[in-house]
Amino acid sequence: GQNIDQPTEMTATEGAIVQINCTYQTSGFNGLFWYQQHAGEAPTFLSYNVLDGLEEKGRFSSFLSRSKGYSYLLLKELQMKDSASYLCATSDYKLSFGAGTTVTVRA
């Protein structure tokens, strides 16, 4: 089975940095995905980590430590449009999602 934990809510100021942590316990693991989901919309792909370390993609970076069952998503230079839910998911061909972290960006 899968057990994925991430904080429920986070609030940050425009221009700041926010780090969303995700811990997981899984019986099968072929990678960790982060998705962004705006209210009422479909999840959109942000990043994928299969090896330990940091993957950087513009303002978004994602880190993975397989031995610790831990990942984080780092959002830099926050913009108002970044207000959304961020979903951590492990993959063993199907995705197993956490409940999501709602990030609110304030002016």
Within 72-101, the residues that bind another protein by CB under 8 A are: 87, 89, 91-100
Structure tokens at 2: 């899968």
Applying CB under 8 A, does 9 fall inside the site for another protein? no
- As a 3-state breakdown, the chain gives helix, strand, coil percent values, each rounded to 5, of 5, 60, 35
Binding pattern for the stretch 42-61 against another protein, x by CB under 8 A and - elsewhere: xxxx--x-x-----------
Nearer to another protein (CB atom), residue 43 or residue 69: 43
- Reduced to 3 states, what is the DSSP secondary structure of residue 21? strand
Residue 77 CA to its chain's centroid (Å):
16
Cβ closest to another protein, residue 48 vs residue 60: 48
> CA–CA separation, 73 vs 77, rounded Å?
13
Residue placing its CB nearer to another protein in the complex, 45 or 58: 45
Q: Tell me the closest approach of the beta carbon of residue 16 to another protein, in angstroms.
A: 25
